[in-house]
Structure 1
Amino acid sequence: MSIFDALLSDLPDGDILEVRIGLNWTMVVVEVDGGLQCGLASTLKENHKHTGDPTIPDAGRLTGLSALALAGLVKSDVPTRVSLGMASVNALLPRQPASWIDQNVEDLLVSLGQNHRVALVGHFPFVPRLRNKIKNFDVIDRYPVTGDYPEGAAPEILPHVGVAAITGMTLLNGTFEGLKALCAPDAILMVIGPSTPLSPKMFDFGIDILAGSIVTDVEAVMRVIGEGANFRQVKKAGVRLVTVSRPSLNLLKS
């Protein structure tokens, strides 16, 4: 069973209230059991087509669809539909606030990096600070900047690290399983970023720590996403960053 199959297997259904597919982020707002929930995912884009075929066939009518049906788009082969599906999954996932820890991923990586070599897949804004705080630290990115390694270097780096922190975007673009397979069996495996599903089912796939996002101000976040905000702007508008670990670990601060 794939991660997506596991996540979809027992999701509740809900009513879609709002959808935003922004320049950088996709957002879905649902009503589940009388409560409002919101999910985010990075907006994946595809090359421009001249066929006239719509990227989102039901655009303009999404609020009339089943939220569970929309979540099923996470298995699509069309990138933007995958983003829409992942945001829907994240909106429908049952909330388990007792397991959420308000711990900064940057601080956690610094702590783990005192005794482990750390690899970060995905160039996050805190990378320059981590370079000064973690002695053995590598960054792998599809679009590397100075100091990063290209994604082709993953087979030479990931098998030798004690901590691998992988962006949740790899779940969307289909590269996560290959990256995970490169990691040593005893490495601490993290999935991080706003697209990350905060579900305990993720721990069944060898993942140790999840670091994701919870929208706290739906209206404000919806507005900035619709206007092309990057994640710093989205977070400022109303997002709480939370971290969850598998129960057998005691790595997180309460």
Structure 2
Amino acid sequence: MKQQELVASLIPEHAPEPATRIAVGVNWTLVDSATGTGLVHTPVKSQQGCVPIAEAGSLRGRPLRDLMDLTTAPNPIARAVGFAALNAYWNRHDITGDIVNGLELVEDRGHKTVIIGRFPNLDEKLPGAAVIERNPGPDDFPEDAAATLIPQAEFLVITASTLSNGSLAGLLALRRDAFTVLVGPGTPLCSTLFDYGIGALAGFRVDAPEKAEQAIMESGAEKAIRPSGTRISLVRG
């Protein structure tokens, strides 16, 4: 499975709703519409290829489906806008599900619980888990450990930023029977992802878009965004 095929399967044929607001903050990117609001991690500006978006100043008002074409843009910042538009389509204001933290859906099985990305308070919730980080800390594993750790995993938690940074398909290809959870506000609440072996989608529904936009434009991290919405989890039947 290729990453571009996975992403293409999530993009609807029609999504005519116009983007009513677009915000690219230091930590998060937001695209809002009348039917839903999407969030995605903003890439670090020093990342290769990050440049100003050429179409800036003309994106608001475009249909969500048009903005989704940016998911294949070479510019990581433009891609973030594209994925936020994708999430605005799926993470509708009226979507419902289990109101739980995604980390509550997995068990601590030592290094057979593998976490991609160091989440807040992880040491309290899953202290024995093996954590793989792009920029590993003292207790983390580097990215190349995924090839060894993931095939042996019984539980696998993957940060949603792997969808927008292009690494999700490769990580899923390494799993065997692990119960897999895609976690984070950038998770598209789209059941198509269950077809790729994901067992649960632990995302976020924005209930107060203006409040979320303010937090984002004031360089807020995930904690600052939480009061603007509700954790929503969908579990594969």
* Equivalent position of 2:39 in the other structure: 40
Structure 1 residues 148 and 239: CA distance shift in structure 2, 3 A: same
Q: Distance in 1 between matches of 2:115 and 2:47?
A: 30
* Equivalent position of 1:75 in the other structure: 72
Structure 2, unmatched stretches of 5+, are none
Question: 1:193·1:213 contact (CA, 8 Å) conserved in 2?
Answer: yes
Structure 1, unmatched stretches of 5+, are 248-254
Q: 1:114-129 counterparts in 2 under 5 A?
A: 117-129=112-124
Q: Distance in 2 between matches of 1:64 and 1:96?
A: 19
Q: Distance in 1 between matches of 2:80 and 2:207?
A: 20
- Note the alpha carbon deviations across 1:46-65, whole angstroms, 9 max, x for none: 43899xx9521121121232
Structure 1 residues 244 and 143: CA distance shift in structure 2, 3 A: same
* Equivalent position of 2:82 in the other structure: 85
TM-score, normalised by the number of residues in structure 1 = 0.84
Structure 1 residues 115 and 96: CA distance shift in structure 2, 3 A: farther
* Equivalent position of 1:203 in the other structure: 194
Structure 1 residues 115 and 47: CA distance shift in structure 2, 3 A: closer
1:15 alignment partner AA: P
TM-superposed deviation, 1:213: 0.7
User: In structure 1, the residue corresponding to 2:20 is in which secondary structure?
Assistant: strand
TM-superposed deviation, 1:227: 1.1
Q: Distance in 1 between matches of 2:72 and 2:57?
A: 21
- Note the alpha carbon deviations across 1:227-251, whole angstroms, 9 max, x for none: 1100101113x1211111112xxxx
- Note the alpha carbon deviations across 1:143-191, whole angstroms, 9 max, x for none: 111211111111111111101111111111111111111111x211211
Structure 1 residues 57 and 207: CA distance shift in structure 2, 3 A: same
User: In structure 2, the residue corresponding to 1:73 is in which secondary structure?
Assistant: helix
2:102 alignment partner AA: V
Q: Distance in 1 between matches of 2:192 and 2:48?
A: 36
1:181 to 169, 173, 176: 173
User: In structure 2, the residue corresponding to 1:91 is in which secondary structure?
Assistant: helix
Q: Distance in 2 between matches of 1:144 and 1:115?
A: 18
Q: Distance in 2 between matches of 1:95 and 1:65?
A: 18
TM-superposed deviation, 1:95: 3.7
Q: Distance in 1 between matches of 2:14 and 2:156?
A: 28
Q: Distance in 2 between matches of 1:9 and 1:241?
A: 23
2:142 to 145, 150, 153: 150
Q: 1:25-64 counterparts in 2 under 5 A?
A: 25-31=28-34, 36-47=35-46, 55-64=52-61
Q: Distance in 1 between matches of 2:95 and 2:27?
A: 30
Identity of aligned residues (%): 29
How many residues are treated as equivalent by the alignment?
Answer: 234
TM-score, normalised by the number of residues in structure 2 = 0.90
